Structure 1
């Protein structure tokens, strides 16, 4: 088991995470977190986003954790099941996947391409899926199904919308604790 402190790659969703979002607040608390800059926040492409994640992971020292939100969660799942090499996968200690969007939902961004169908293969690293009971972008049944298929721990956060800046989470210490539980293997 590694004793190195993991690098956390922050994977925002569609349009990036602005001020007040828990991801942005976490970066302010820990400047060591690395936000993965996607090539086009307004027109997400699965292929481009997965390649950006792969490049960020290649530049990071192991171990690495993902703190993903919304479309960032799907990016992590697609990357792990179709883009990653064995060496890249070995670097990943775990992923916190928050507010999975369902490409079949009416609110899913139509500007996003290639994010359906969602891969339902077991992910090769520990994961925690966090869902809200009133998320307009993805229902609990969808997130629970993904969590089951991926081998993830599933957490119901209650009525918190899309678990973003509008959810009133502040620095979201509980989420930081879940992320920390995904330490090096």
Structure 2
């Protein structure tokens, strides 16, 4: 699959220079979806932005979401007519929607995702208990991988370019 077909979806506050998504963007040429406001994410705005980017890209797509962007993928999939273009989604460190201090994000989009997905979560993520992460994955019809004690699977987790995560993405694309 061409690198241009992989869309990186950062979560709340974006992904900084040492975040694995930023490193994947540099190393593999994947495309980051830039949101209009990283600090005060409005669900409708983020869904519309993802839809705009999807419509601007030819061919099949792969979504790689971190944190709040996992909920974005579910919200977008529930509203979009373009979901058949998505080959797969890697959903990393989803937050517990019930615990989010953000208006509009606590309501989950119901039902399974209409494309293959894999959810990766840590046992000690401060934003989502392991059991809740498994429940989110099950609701999305997503496979589940526990990443051990790796916090929020972000730059603070000292993952570097997170080769284990990239291997999970490659395996997801081979299925």
TM-score tier, shorter chain, comes to over 0.9
Give the TM-score, by structure 1 length: 0.89
CA RMSD of aligned residues (A): 1.5
- 2:121 aligned partner: 131
How much does 1:184 deviate? 7.8
Aligned position for 1:103: 97
Query: Structure with the greater relative contact order (CA < 8 A, sep ≥ 6): 1 or 2?
Result: 1
Aligned residue for 1:66?
Answer: 63
Query: What SS does the aligned partner of 1:28 have?
Result: helix
> 1:182 deviation in Å?
3.1
SS of the residue 1:104 aligns to: helix
Specify the alignment match of 1:142 in structure 2: 132
Q: Quick one: distance in 1 between partners of 2:18 and 2:34?
A: 18
Query: Structure 1 residue 23 and structure 2 residue 60: aligned?
Result: no
User: C-alpha displacement at 1:174, in angstroms?
Assistant: 1.3
Within 5 Å, give how 1:20-59 maps onto structure 2.
Answer: 20-31=18-29, 33-59=30-56
Work out the CA distance in 2 between the residues paired with 1:138 and 1:161: 10
Deviation digits for residues 56-88 of structure 1 (CA, Å, limit 9, x no counterpart): 11111221001100011100011001x211xx1
Count matched residues.
174
1:8: which partner in 2? Answer: 6
2:64 is paired with a residue whose SS is strand
> 1:84 corresponds to which residue?
80
Question: How far apart are the structure 1 equivalents of 2:174 and 2:39?
Answer: 33
Mark the runs of 5 or more structure 1 residues left unpaired by the alignment.
none
Deviation readout 1:81-120 (Å, 9 max, x if unpaired): 1x211xx111100000000011222xx3x2x321122124
Checking the alignment, whether the CA contact within 8 Å between 1:62 and 1:92 is kept in structure 2 is no
Q: TM-score, normalised by structure 2?
A: 0.94
Q: When you count helix as a share of all residues, which structure comes out higher?
A: 2
